[in-house]
Amino acid sequence: MSHTIVTTSTTTTTSSSNGGFLNLGYTRSVQGLLKIAQMVALLIAFLCVYCSPYSPDYSAFRYFEVVTIWFLIAFLIFYLMYVFRLQSKIPCINWTLTEFLHYAFGTVLVLIASIVAAVKNAGVSELVAGSVFGFIATFLLAVSLWTSYKVTCGSQPTSAAV
């Protein structure tokens, strides 16, 4: 009498996007790409004004520089926080609300700085380019503010389970 033994083996693989150290999926998401575009626009706006050899109104453009570099650094910190999954390490802070407030203040302050830069540029091409990129950054911040608002303050289901 002959016996046949059948052996099966299963192989499981784990994806590093769910439990790994880096969240590389965030860099390809809409929020990640939007944040990268914001940082690039803010960096270009800052560099256009900072590298201009001529500034007709010193204080107005220093305000523009401070606002753009401040929010560039803030959004870089948020970006790195999401890429390295640091928001899960500090659960005592509501990160979505914090980011929403940064977008709200950033949108208003960058818009004000861009308007001031557009009014005071005196036709200097570097300053005009800086104010244009400031307006582009304002638009991108407003889009992020809207998407962040839908996540933070969006409609909550009110059905009660009995």
What tens digit of pLDDT does each residue of 47-101 get? 999 998 887 778 889 999 999 999 999 999 999 999 998 888 888 988 888 999 9
Residue 128, Cβ neighbours under 10 Å: how many?
16
> What is the model's pLDDT at position 123?
87
Give CA 133 to chain center in angstroms.
Answer: 16
Report pTM: 0.79
> What is the model's pLDDT at position 12?
45
**pLDDT at residue 43 above 50?**
yes
**pLDDT at residue 14 above 60?**
no
> How far apart, in Å, are the Cα atoms of 63 and each of 28, 66, 69, 107?
33, 5, 10, 15
* CA 100/CA 104 separation, integer angstroms: 6
Q: What percent of the chain has pLDDT over 70?
A: 82
> What is the model's pLDDT at position 90?
85
